[in-house]
Amino acid sequence: MKEIHHWVDGKEYKGTSGRFADVFNPATGEVQAKVSLATKDELDAAVESAARAQIKWGATNPQRRARVMMEFVRLINRDMDKLAEALSSEHGKTFPDAKGDVQRGLEVIEFCIGAPHLLKGEYTDSAGTGIDMYSMRQPLGVVAGITPFNFPAMIPLWKIGPALASGNAMVLKPSERDPSVPLMLAQLLQEAGLPDGVLQVINGDKGSVDAILDSDVIQAVGFVGSTPIAQYIYERAAATGKRAQCFGGAKNHMIIMPDADLDQAADALVGAGYGAAGERCMAISVAVPVGEKTADALIEKLVPRIEKLKVGPYTAGNDVDYGPVVTKAAKENILRLVQTGIDQGAELVVDGRDFSLQGYEEGFFVGPHLFDRVTPDMDIYKTEIFGPVLSTVRAGSYEEAIKLAMDHEYGNGTAIYTRDGDAARDFANRINIGMVGVNVPIPVPLAYHTFGGWKKSGFGDLNQHGPDAFRFYTRTKTVTARWPSGIKEGGEFNFKAMD
């Protein structure tokens, strides 16, 4: 059985804990590898070593650090297919989708090449008589990244890029469910010229996370995952004086106005609801058609599109729309929630419960589901299902639709489909959700903007990537300087003979 270990001080480090987690091939249901789970002592040792490496890295000029990022971009492009293949085999998403996962992370590394510019401070000449004032952005020291299974390339890259380009060292604790890609990225960074110890990849579970939270050396934690863990990490990190940004779960609504292009909206809903088997924090999981006529017409357009979806292993190539979910437990949880929807009175219009794929009967495939007449009190509405299940909540008016999205505890992403600029503008202004699409179903901001949800989807006040990430990974120091007397007053200007 293949074993996956850690990356410490520029080389593979075999863990000593004797504890492992299973890494599945979600398409076949087989265990394909075992990943080491680090002990607290192993994590602490990696942190100590990172702290030593950070001193020199933090003092390296930003342009040189940016050059490492430049080379890293080249190497990721060189190995794109290899990375995507490893990603698909552990996660289950289709090959083109896996490339998208790598690509969206790569774009943040491209942005980080601008670190010298982003790290510039401010300067006021003559703030007082003979007084100048200036600020500088300094790295925090050692920081940690804790990342989820659903984007095993993109989210580690969102953490690694800004943290390292700012001059920090990072301990990355990726998801134990698909750990190979983060390790490959660490190797590529070494090839790109990153000094050993500046990026440590420690595989582990709750024990490693708690060791990160209790460390006196680690200064900041960037987390992405489910909401209960995000909140736990945010609170525990704050209790030990760490800076924390913790991004959680989602329940993203798409409002479909009566004037929307319904074919366009239906196509968008199918891609955004079922792509990556619904395992995206920006997936649309709730469709909110406004008016009964809109709802009836939308359902009519959705059903044939959903019934045509091709579900299969990534090895089947471009013919597949989405793959299996990540584990058997995830599949069981999705099917359990579907059952609550039926029991609580929602109308199951497309039923994927009996889906089975010949030759892959043990794989974690879940057929697509569409619910109609879902109400806000139902579990399928309140809970993040994280599977290929789209719920339709019929709204009587625009006001009812916007209120629905605003009252939900999550606030990651949302979208409105309409031809009415006034409605779209009002929606974008009033909605209490971090990322808004206008006729765009998955409004993931590009690398030079910032990514972050509101309400229970995000804890902390700075977003991921873009300029916020450089603020998160640096401290501002402001210097007020006066030079009351210098060489110009006390100097001797006449050429004197020696006494």
Catalytic residues: 281
Site string for ligand NAD, 437-456 (x = CB under 6 A): ----------------x---
Spell out the alpha helix ranges (H) of 154-261: 154-165, 180-191, 206-214, 227-239
**CB 246, min distance to ligand NAD, A:** 9
Residues 160 and 168: their CA atoms lie apart, in Å, by: 9
Nearer to ligand NAD, 29 or 207 (CB): 207
Q: Which amino acid makes up residue 386? A: F
Nearest residue relative to ligand NAD (C-beta): 225
Q: Which stretch binds ligand NAD (CB under 6 A): 29-37, 63-71, 72-80, 201-209?
A: 201-209
Please choose, from the candidates 51, 21, 328, the residue with its C-alpha nearest in 3D space to the C-alpha of residue 203.
21
Nearer to ligand NAD, 26 or 248 (CB): 248
Question: What one-character DSSP code corresponds to residue 461?
Answer: S
Binding to ligand NAD (CB under 6 A) within 304-333 occurs at none
SS3 at position 402? helix
Number of residues forming the site for ligand NAD (CB under 6 A): 26
Residue 152 found at the interface with ligand NAD (CB under 6 A): no
**CB 65, min distance to ligand NAD, A:** 25
The token pair at 74 is 């080249």
**CB 403, min distance to ligand NAD, A:** 23
Sheet holding 2-4, edge to edge: 2-4, 30-36, 20-25
Q: Which of 62, 148, 367, 441 binds ligand NAD (CB under 6 A)?
A: 148
Q: Which stretch binds ligand NAD (CB under 6 A): 40-48, 99-107, 218-226, 488-496?
A: 218-226
Q: Cα–Cα–Cα angle for 257, 260, 262, nearest 5°? A: 110
Beta strands in 327-400 (DSSP E): 347-350, 369-372, 389-392
Residue 224 found at the interface with ligand NAD (CB under 6 A): yes
Q: Which of 457, 460, 465, 472 binds ligand NAD (CB under 6 A)?
A: 457
Asked whether 153 and 124 are in contact (CB, 8 A), the reply is no
Nearer to ligand NAD, 286 or 299 (CB): 286
Residues 440 and 483: their CA atoms lie apart, in Å, by: 56
Binding to ligand NAD (CB under 6 A) within 382-411 occurs at 384, 386
Residue 249 found at the interface with ligand NAD (CB under 6 A): yes
Residue 71 found at the interface with ligand NAD (CB under 6 A): no
Please choose, from the candidates 21, 92, 7, the residue with its C-alpha nearest in 3D space to the C-alpha of residue 330.
92
**CB 98, min distance to ligand NAD, A:** 15
**CB 69, min distance to ligand NAD, A:** 22
Site string for ligand NAD, 338-377 (x = CB under 6 A): ----------------------------------------
Q: Which stretch binds ligand NAD (CB under 6 A): 74-82, 93-101, 202-210, 476-484?
A: 202-210
Q: Which of 172, 229, 393, 402 binds ligand NAD (CB under 6 A)?
A: 229
Residues 5 and 202: their CA atoms lie apart, in Å, by: 8
**CB 165, min distance to ligand NAD, A:** 20
**CB 230, min distance to ligand NAD, A:** 7
**CB 484, min distance to ligand NAD, A:** 51
Residues 84 and 105: their CA atoms lie apart, in Å, by: 12
Nearer to ligand NAD, 62 or 248 (CB): 248
Residues 217 and 165: their CA atoms lie apart, in Å, by: 19
Binding to ligand NAD (CB under 6 A) within 173-192 occurs at 173, 175-176
Q: Which of 49, 54, 294, 412 binds ligand NAD (CB under 6 A)?
A: 412
Residue 149 found at the interface with ligand NAD (CB under 6 A): yes
Handedness of CA 209, 210, 212, 213 (dihedral sign): positive
Q: What is the DSSP track for 87-143?
A: HHHHH---HHHHHHHHHHHHHHHHHHTTHHHHT---EEEEEETTEEEEEEEEE-SEE
Sheet holding 474-482, edge to edge: 123-128, 131-139, 474-482
Binding to ligand NAD (CB under 6 A) within 260-289 occurs at 281
Q: Which of 113, 172, 209, 390 binds ligand NAD (CB under 6 A)?
A: 209
How long is the chain? Answer: 499
- How far apart are the two ends of the chain, measured CA to CA in Å? 85
Please choose, from the candidates 343, 344, 351, 360, the residue with its C-alpha nearest in 3D space to the C-alpha of residue 389.
351
SS3 at position 317? helix
Q: Which amino acid makes up residue 119? A: L
Residue 62 found at the interface with ligand NAD (CB under 6 A): no
Three-class SS of 13-60? ECCCCCCEEEEEECCCCEEEEEEECCCHHHHHHHHHHHHHHHHHHHHC
The token pair at 471 is 């603020």
Residue 460 found at the interface with ligand NAD (CB under 6 A): no
Residue 168 found at the interface with ligand NAD (CB under 6 A): no
Nearer to ligand NAD, 360 or 451 (CB): 451
Q: Give contact residues for ligand NAD (rule: CB under 6 A).
A: 146-151, 173, 175-176, 205-206, 209, 224-226, 229, 247-250, 281, 384, 386, 412, 453, 457
